[in-house]
Chain A
């Protein structure tokens, strides 16, 4: 996937010009938080569970070597082949090698942000495989040639009418009509059912890996993950190291946080444990199973001050609650992960140089941190990235100089007082009795979209206050 994070502002500008999609985002920006709130409210002590899971995950990451060792041992004993991939290319090669070994032609995929990260589809298609995304949203995007705008609801940006147009254009419909949303779903389901049956290899992700049993856990609302995992003869699970948890009970705790935070559901429609290949005497399940653990800089994150990001459960709550995400839309962020979590992960997994606008796409409103089921201090991490940006001199020079001058001025009160007095007098003079100014030469950013309210008086508070004190003492 080609990264366009460097043009975040232009991407956002383009997105905000589309009225229907913008209104759709605003609607979801109200609806999704309502769903999450009702899901959390019906749970009882959500905060206690959140704190508990956070402790478990801190512990797991602190002892990652131990749990990884246990997981690999158990998973191998269960008949899985476990692979490690240092980066996206390595994961993609491992997958295509497996496909080649089985002389596969058709591949079906469950929704997996990890394989979005490695651009696996492009790789497999280039190698000549037919790849079908089977999550409805992902399928729609694949047909439309678009990328996900949300990590849970990848096609949330597409209005129903656009999807109808797409199916009318891409499917051989004959006499069938696509009257309502249910008809659209049925249309996709019919086509996908045959793809599941024809597939040689199924690829899914994982929401958790359980160290003491070697099982992986996946939740979906459509059941497509289970069909990908059980119908084709070969299953490949593509996931990452930080999904590890010690015990099954820890995974169930995590799933309770995840489902409520993502959609307000008490539990996702399908929660499945995958142990390994079909055993002797069993009638179904894959004959061969592989698990690929992708690093892609995650061990660097583990060793950095951004380690808490590895607690992220990919629920999307921070996206749904972020007013910048709602205004600009997920595509503006220009890579796989949008919103607050994406504005941290993108610089860490790609480069800050390519994405230095993203940590600035934040008003520090704190709503993401409030709802994050993993208790990640997202605004603090975003600010820390802005600090790094400053140290690396990635922000515009005039910003950096301005900031240095500002800090110096704030610690030089005599000059500060004279300059603010001058500024207030100038602004009052420029306003000439009007309430606000339409244009200001030194505040282009502000006056592009707003008038500039004039000070209410030609003198600062400090000036007025000091004059009052003097005149009182004079009496």
Chain B
């Protein structure tokens, strides 16, 4: 199978990609990381640049379609490939997009529904036992890919964490890709609501499956002076002790396994 690293993990959070690699290997996969990959093209697509996004999509399809499975540590990027590439492309490319879509998964869904991790090969991290962790459903994962229980089950079974639920768990956090740059004030209002909801849940850590949401929320929390730790869900499932939370300072030898 092939790992779709995602541009945000590549740049902001390599430990997410390293944790994904390790988890996929633990599940028994032979993982390749196509070297020429860049990004799924969603920012342009959502800004209405269908031509540019189409160029990116064709490139991704050609690069990844030889793999049995494509896995991304992001519901948003996986959703782009699964739901939007087939909508964007025509003719032969549409068929190739549909074929790739049927083999593309977000990582927690893949590790639950397709290639489950072997039971009992990891003891829950004791550093997490006293933490209160809430889970943030990203919209694309939730509504485009129906991801809801998978990350919670993995957190429970692999990290010994019973995720706290946010009252408005199906409401967007305000990231929205280019939206947060085009309409920063509205976006920040939405982020503040999500942070308030997180604090009200009693959590001291918010985990999620999409770095976009997490970076945006971490940035807003930092601006508001809110003390919360932000992590991608694979960091907890794999190894919580790799460095600090998102936006909390440099990691110590981040992610190297």
A-to-B contact residues, CB < 8 Å: 9, 12-13, 16, 22, 26, 29-30, 323-324, 327-328, 360-367, 369-370, 380, 383-390, 395, 399, 403-404, 406-411, 413, 416, 420, 423-424, 428, 431, 433-436, 438, 443, 445-446, 448-457, 459-462, 464-466, 468
A362 to B48, CA, bound (A): 12
A424 to B189, CA, bound (A): 28
Contact A465 B193 (CB under 8 A): no
Contacts of A385 in B (CB 8 A): 48
Contact B179 A362 (CB under 8 A): yes
Determine whether B99 belongs to the interface, using a CB cutoff of 8 Å to chain A: no
A86 to B30, CA, bound (A): 64
Determine whether B181 belongs to the interface, using a CB cutoff of 8 Å to chain A: yes
Nearest-neighbor residue (CB-CB) of B17 within chain A: A461
Shortest B249–chain A CB gap in Å is 4
B-to-A contact residues, CB < 8 Å: 5, 7, 9-15, 17-18, 33, 35-39, 41, 43-53, 55-56, 59, 87, 139-140, 143-144, 167-168, 170-172, 174-177, 179-191, 193, 215-216, 218-220, 222-223, 243-244, 246-251, 254-256
Contacts of A410 in B (CB 8 A): 38-39, 41, 44, 52, 55-56, 59
Contacts of A30 in B (CB 8 A): 167-168
- CB contact under 8 A between A435 and B12, given known A367-B171, A450-B220, A466-B35: no
Contact A462 B219 (CB under 8 A): no
Which one, B36, B55, B186, B215, contacts A327 given CB within 8 A? B186
Which one, A420, A431, A438, A448, contacts B10 given CB within 8 A? A420
A464 to B186, CA, bound (A): 37
Contact A465 B17 (CB under 8 A): yes
A459 to B17, CA, bound (A): 13
Nearest-neighbor residue (CB-CB) of A431 within chain B: B250
- CB contact under 8 A between A406 and B48, given known A365-B176, A461-B17: no
Contacts of B36 in A (CB 8 A): 413
Which one, A9, A360, A370, A403, contacts B52 given CB within 8 A? A403
- CB contact under 8 A between A370 and B143, given known A406-B52, A453-B12, A464-B256: yes
Closest 10 CB pairs of A and B: A363-B176, A407-B52, A453-B247, A386-B48, A450-B219, A449-B188, A445-B181, A461-B14, A365-B172, A387-B48
Contacts of A452 in B (CB 8 A): 219
Contact A451 B223 (CB under 8 A): yes
Shortest B114–chain A CB gap in Å is 23
A54 to B9, CA, bound (A): 41
Shortest A465–chain B CB gap in Å is 6
Shortest B49–chain A CB gap in Å is 5
Contact A407 B250 (CB under 8 A): no
Nearest-neighbor residue (CB-CB) of B181 within chain A: A445
8 contacts between A and B (CB under 8 A): A327-B174, A363-B139, A364-B177, A366-B140, A410-B55, A436-B222, A464-B18, A465-B17
Contacts of A380 in B (CB 8 A): 87
Contact A407 B255 (CB under 8 A): no
Nearest-neighbor residue (CB-CB) of A413 within chain B: B36
Shortest A121–chain B CB gap in Å is 30
Nearest-neighbor residue (CB-CB) of A26 within chain B: B193
Contact A460 B185 (CB under 8 A): no
Contact B46 A411 (CB under 8 A): no
A408 to B44, CA, bound (A): 11
Nearest-neighbor residue (CB-CB) of A449 within chain B: B188
Contacts of B223 in A (CB 8 A): 438, 449-451
**Other 20 A-B pairs with CB < 8 A, given A431-B250, A461-B14:** A22-B189, A360-B179, A363-B177, A364-B176, A367-B170, A380-B87, A387-B49, A387-B50, A403-B44, A410-B44, A410-B59, A413-B35, A435-B247, A435-B248, A443-B181, A450-B180, A454-B250, A456-B250, A456-B254, A457-B255
A410 to B38, CA, bound (A): 6
A455 to B11, CA, bound (A): 6
Contacts of A408 in B (CB 8 A): 52
Shortest A158–chain B CB gap in Å is 20
Contacts of B191 in A (CB 8 A): 449-450
Contacts of A461 in B (CB 8 A): 5, 9-11, 14, 17-18, 255
